Chain A
């Protein structure tokens, strides 16, 4: 991609002509820096999933097929706060039953995705955590180059919204490409 970058840089210089340096000094924030022109290598993708995500569309698999050799982490997050609320209101036994159901759902979903991705030349890992759907994803995203997330992720309490507020938070907090499906 460096070929693109240097060419684009050169062409923009041509458009600006002799004024290039002066323009750069005054309006630097509007111009792509050399660093920004570089498309970072994608070797690792994080895909957070939760109970709000019912299906991963075919078009996402088609995109993933472009990233041969990449490692993908399917991270299924079960909300720790919900478990606490269930335990606090209905008791420990009900909380265990709830947790069991969630873990079973996570396992089934992840297995279905694994089957879909089985023919891809990628390295796939799955993980189920009980944690915070926002904080944990933002933290784990540091270890990855791209995030692919459903617009419904974390939307249990706000199903009518077109995009979950949590997805907005993820897009805001992570300075890496985020694919929203």
Chain B
């Protein structure tokens, strides 16, 4: 059984990973978990532009963008590595995959590449709110069942 966990670093995605590990443990050694994260450079660009527009030069805004981007990558990698070691300690076959690009397209492509289950948090990094379009875009476009964790 192949299980894909969508990890954006939020606490709900961490919870999703715990639920995926639970399913994997129930399946004994027959499950493989992939922690999957998509980083979209456009988010860093947008934040840099909106928060950095009053800076002295374009160079500074670009540097600010670069810093946000590096921090974003570092933060997701940290969360992933914590989850990976938790899985390893429990003897769960788990790996991670971090890609760059538009989130929905990448997730849909990956999820439709032979997984038996996708596990995701109901909410994202901005916290508890409306369960919205991302869920519709993903659940509506992929073939495997999706476990939504709250």
Binding site for B on A (CB under 8 A): 1, 3-5, 7-8, 11-12, 15, 29-32, 36-37, 39, 57, 59-60, 62-63, 65-68, 148, 151, 161-163, 168, 171-172, 175-181
Contacts and interface: CB of A to CB of B under 8 A. Distances in A.
Contacts of A65: 27
Contacts of B90: 3-4
B62 interface: no
Contacts of A32: 11, 14-15
Given A59-B145, A62-B1, 15 more contacts: A3-B89, A4-B86, A8-B86, A15-B82, A37-B15, A63-B23, A63-B145, A162-B139, A162-B141, A168-B131, A168-B135, A171-B122, A171-B148, A172-B131, A177-B19
Interface in B61-112: 78, 82-83, 85-86, 89-90
B83 A8 contact: yes
Interface string B110-150: 00000011000010010110010001100111001111111
B26 interface: yes
Nearest to A70: B26
Interface band, chain B: 35 or more
Interface in B16-35: 18-19, 21-23, 25-27
A140 B35 CA distance: 33
A153 B59 CA distance: 53
Given A151-B140, A171-B122, A179 B23 contact: no
Contact of B135 (A36, A161, A171, A177): A171
A70 to B, nearest CB: 10
Residue from A68, A163, A180 with most neighbouring chain B CB atoms (10 Å): A180
A26 to B, nearest CB: 13
Nearest to B25: A1
B11 A11 contact: no
Contacts of A8: 14, 18, 82-83, 86
